[in-house]
Amino acid sequence: MIYKVYYQDTKVRNPKRENTHSLFLDEQTLSAARETAEKNTDINVEYIEELSEEALNYEKQNPDFKISKF
């Protein structure tokens, strides 16, 4: 499954919606996606969403779309 991870760059400041970024992970479960993001980065994970086929196809239309590998 492909998961979209919404995150803030830092854990020091309070989260602001305007500073939210996202990355995509290919993992078996939501908990595995969270573990991968937290173990391999210094980001503050806000929310993780499993993408449906339609949502994934929509995200792939963005030229900057890529699935992160760690």
Q: What is the pLDDT of residue 69?
A: 94
Q: Which CATH class is domain 2-59?
A: alpha beta
3-state secondary structure of 21: strand
**pLDDT above 70 coverage of the chain, percent:** 100
Sorted by where each begins, the domain ranges of the chain are 2-59
Contact of 44 with 11, CB cutoff 8 Å: yes
pTM of the shown model: 0.89
Mean pLDDT of 59-64: 95
pLDDT digits (tens, 9 = 90+) for 32-60: 999 999 999 999 999 999 999 999 999 99
How is the chain split among helix, strand and coil, in percent rounded to 5? 30, 30, 40
